Amino acid sequence: MRFDILTIFPDFFSSPLAEGMIRRAVQDGLVLIQTHNIRDYATDKHAMTDDRPFGGGEGMVMKPEPLAAAVEQARGSGVDARVVLLTPQGRTLDQQLAEELAGEEQLILVCGRYEGVDERFRAAYVDLEVSIGDYILTGGEPAALVLLDSVIRLLPGVLGCGDSAENDTFSRGSRGGLKYPQYTRPRIFAGREVPEVLLSGDHAAIERWRFLAAVRRTISRRPELVAAMEFTPAERKLLRENDISLPPAGNGGE
Ligand code: 9D3
């Protein structure tokens, strides 16, 4: 999969992309990531990428021509690249959207700065607008990194078998609920012991304990996720026996 990142701060991406999973994916030839400095596509002598808003008001707006020229360049000969604008006005990134994007051949990620991009660039070039959540960032760059991370880890061959996509909190392995608490050595830390059952070697008991702990944790921290979780009749019985009550089955969490 190929990513082209359009930004006025290309250096922002150098070390994050040179570490860990993303670095390996690039080295293995599974992803190609290219940054483009929007400033290089400015045509005026001061290489301006932003200007004052028509109609007045606070802040600056990103000029459309350099953005358009950078998109054309990034698109190259490839025809069906999707152009994604990172913006607070976008669709909130979630696991489903990451999975959709992982199916694309090429993504062109446009990082907004200032108060945003000229509306005509958005209308003429942007296929999809994405936000990473309801908090204020200084620009689209950190959001682009989050998107890259969430999409690249889904690509075939990127993750090892050990930690792969199957058992994630937000994929089917833990059926949309949160994960159970985890422990490693030492057996006592800060005066706190590892739960006895985890040392027992009784794998069925361990599985039951983890299941119950995960459901309790999901109910207390992310109650909105519980409605979408699916349980077998045996699991429902186990929950009842442990005084864990679920909301009535209904509309799948919406
Ligand atoms: C009206 C006042 N604004 C500035 C205080 C609006 C505003 C403009 C530009 C707020 C943030 C930004 C820059 N943010 C992004 O470009 C951005 C973003 C975000 O802020 N939060 C979550 N996801 C994203 S994706 C891009």
Q: How confident is the model at residue 253 (pLDDT cuts 50, 70, 90)?
A: very low
Give me the percent of the chain exceeding a pLDDT of 90.
Answer: 88
Predicted TM-score (pTM) of this structure = 0.94
- CA–CA separation, 214 vs 168, rounded Å? 13
The answer, yes or no, to whether any atom of ligand 1 lies below 6 A from the CB of 133, is yes
Domains of the chain, first to last: 2-152 (3.40.1280.10), 172-241 (1.10.1270.20)
pLDDT of residue 249: 67
Angle 13-128-23 (CA atoms, 0-180°, nearest 5)?
25
Q: Relative to the CA of 143, which ligand 1 atom is closest?
A: 25
CA of 52 to the centre of ligand 1 (A): 17
The average pLDDT across 220-240 equals 97
For the stretch 62-80, pLDDT in tens is 999 999 999 999 999 877 8
Q: Answer yes or no: is the C-beta of 59 below 6 A from any ligand 1 atom.
A: no
What is the 18 CA–ligand 1 centroid distance (Å)?
26
88 is catalytic: yes
Task: Give the pLDDT mean for 21-30.
Answer: 98
Which of 60, 67, 87 has the most ligand 1 atoms within 8 A of CB, as the residue to mutate?
87
Which pLDDT value is given to residue 160? 84
Of 152, 146, 155, 104, nearest to 128 by C-alpha is: 104
**128-184 pLDDT per residue, tens:** 999 999 999 999 999 999 999 999 999 999 998 766 665 565 554 478 999 999 999
